Structure 1
């Protein structure tokens, strides 16, 4: 009974697929056409993006997430997943592509009291986790590897591209969708 109760509660603790998730998954599938690609889905959440990329491209996809409930949901979806922070659990040059739907909502009060706060809050600018990601992701990318990331106008698309540029990445927009309160852009980064 406890396991069933844990599973019922886990849905509220894991970010579920929404407009941003679908936009990122569709863009990633469109960019990743190599069935031999090794792909990492950072902050995999429910595992939707990882499973979609795997199923649509045939790529070898693994996910990572800090949230133990997310790790369980992604595994239930058949996604190999590791509990860990960003790219820390992986060896150098391990991936041809890294996909990321980061926590990007700007919040003055950056208390992260529950797993949904961790999944959504990007600090006062919305870029705290994104910047930590770009400080680390180059290590796990293969020499010709790419990063495919969703960014919101709430976070600052130009600011994210500039930060990544300072770490040796160039950015190109590959997909975009506008909503009343924000525009979501999927960026592809190369070194």
Structure 2
């Protein structure tokens, strides 16, 4: 697949880019030298786009298969990135100017789906548990003027809104949305 001038190969057991991935990818804006974290990198699509824009990119994922796939795609595109295996922020150090996350958001218990690629969709019983944990830790990893791009879906039982984020100490703005047949995707920009 070619996207934004970059070539991507898909790998077994790794989430293939879909509407949510492209919603995020179409809205990435990075200044040269900005520190970027691509959380839940999957095949590396978001991190590679940010790297090509001049970002200093660290990509993380809980899946070894995803990290291997993202590394292969980074090499294919001559993208200079680092990779770390991490469950959300657990093994991530430092602050970033941009944190990007397209979290699993379908209401399903992890482990109830068949394979790793399907489990990468399961956001917990309500679909929002992974996102909630991400939000608890986000402020510790944003630079003073840092921002985060977060994909949410109406399929999650938790409704994410500017009021919801304000209660968690974050300023938010919906910067894009995509209505689909069975859900609506939102892309939020978050700041402390």
Q: Normalising by structure 2, what TM-score? A: 0.84
Match of 1:68 in 2: 64
Q: In the TM superposition, what is the alpha-carbon distance from 1:124 to its structure 2 partner? A: 2.1
1:57-96 residue CA offsets vs partner (Å, 9 max, x unmatched):
211111100000000011112242111111222224x211
Aligned position for 1:6? none
Length-normalised TM-score, structure 1: 0.84
Moved runs in structure 1, 4+ residues, more than 6 A? none
SS in 2 for 1:88: coil
Count of paired positions: 176
| Coordinate RMSD, CA, aligned | 1.9
Unmatched tracts of structure 1, length 5 or more: 1-9
- SS state of the match for residue 69, structure 1? helix
Mapping for residues 25-174 of structure 1, pairs under 5 Å: 25-29=25-29, 32=30, 34-55=31-52, 57-78=53-74, 79-92=81-94, 94-107=95-108, 109-111=109-111, 114-155=115-156, 158-159=159-160, 161-174=162-175
Greater helix fraction, Structure 1 or Structure 2: 1
Moved more, 171-180 or 79-88: 79-88
d(CA) in 1 for partners of 2:174, 2:16: 24
Give the structure 1 partner of residue 77 of structure 2: none
| 2-structure distance, mates of 1:134, 1:73 | 26
CA contact (8 A) 1:127 1:160 kept: no
